Structure 1
Amino acid sequence: MTEWEVFGVIVALAGFAISICTPIVKLNTSITRLVDKLNNLDEGMDDLTARNSKSHERLWKHNESQDKTLVDHEKRIGILEKVKEN
């Protein structure tokens, strides 16, 4: 083999290595970004779940207070109906 043939083989191997390594590096970068976004999404879901639980607690408390008001209202209407009948 001549020096130019050796040089040509080395250049071909370097080109092959670059053509293989470039997509691998891009894929690795994309996977790293994706993992980071998934971690952020997981944290966001935890926050959303906590806020959702607090919101449901507030709704149930309001619902219970309305139930008490309705029961009291029913009692008063019953008393008024009994008074009206007499």
Structure 2
Amino acid sequence: MEWTVITVLVALVGLLATVGAPVIKLNSNLTKLTVLLDTLKNDMQEQKKSAKESHRRLWEHNDEQDGRIENHEKRITLLEQK
């Protein structure tokens, strides 16, 4: 009777060790992935802000050039009429 209890306890400890080790590894890997994804998300948000600012400056420069081209076209038209 006593050996049966000891055998069952040893079997339970072995089962817990067999199942527990992969579960602990899985948990640590999930934690690492979560941290990595949070970092990636923050980096993407910063890049998005940077891209918006860059696009704003490009459009501002484009509008400035459009004004210059329009002024140039008016000057050419006046010269052609003379």
Segments of structure 1 that go 5 or more residues without pairing to the other structure are none
The 5-angstrom pairing of residues 28-47 of structure 1 reads 28-47=27-46
**Alignment TM-score, normalising by the size of structure 2:** 0.89
Counterpart residue identity of residue 22, structure 1: A
For residues 45 and 22 of structure 2, the distance between their equivalents in structure 1, rounded to whole angstroms, comes to 35
RMSD over aligned Cα atoms: 1.3
Unaligned runs of 5+ in 2: none
- 2:17 corresponding residue in structure 1: 18
**Structure 2: how far apart are the matches of 1:29 and 1:55?**
39
Partner residue, 1:62: 61
Could you tell me how far apart the structure 2 residues matched to 1:77 and 1:8 are? 102
Question: What is the aligned-residue identity percentage?
Answer: 39
Deviation at 1:7, TM superposition (A): 3.2
Question: Max radius of gyration: which structure?
Answer: 1
Structure 1 length-normalised TM: 0.85
- Superposition misfits of 4+ residues, deviation over 3 angstroms: none
1:42 CA displacement: 1.3
